[in-house]
Amino acid sequence: MKLSRNIIPAAIVMIGLTVAGCKNTSGTIVKTDHETGESTIAAENARLAHHVVVTSTTYDEVNGVKRVNITMASKSNKRLRVDYRISWFDANGMELDPQTKTYRNLILEGHDAVTVTGVANSPAAVSSKLRVRETEQAE
């Protein structure tokens, strides 16, 4: 009897830790092909997609390297904290210098729009990918 009294609370704690550890860290992904001009948006997190929308994607070239500008808007009344990262890829789809691309924090005020800009670190870059995730999910 004493054994079952100890096992049940331990099992409840383990289940709670398992559920708490299983967070959806996916977010919104914007892929831009700078050769064709095609942009695709994939919202992999329904909660984030409900609060943040990508309104425009533009790209150009500066001093021989590609640059992308992506505008995101908040659909919420509240302040949102998100993390974003822009990665660059060559013609073979290989990520260029992935070690230097860390997530950056961004605060979106209620119903506000923010434009994030990424500049390729190599002239070999032909496409970019923006990843957006909720800050509390990343922690």
Q: Going from the N-terminus, what domains does the chain have, and what CATH number goes with each?
A: 26-138 (2.60.40.3230)
Instruction: Give the predicted TM-score (pTM) of the model.
Output: 0.70
Tell me: the pLDDT tens digits for 83-129?
999 999 999 999 998 777 788 999 999 999 999 999 998 999 998 88
> Residue 112, Cβ neighbours under 10 Å: how many?
13
Predicted local distance difference test score (pLDDT) of residue 119? 93
- Determine which of 27-41, 49-63, 116-130 has the lowest per-residue pLDDT on average: 27-41
Which has more pLDDT, 88 or 42?
A: 88
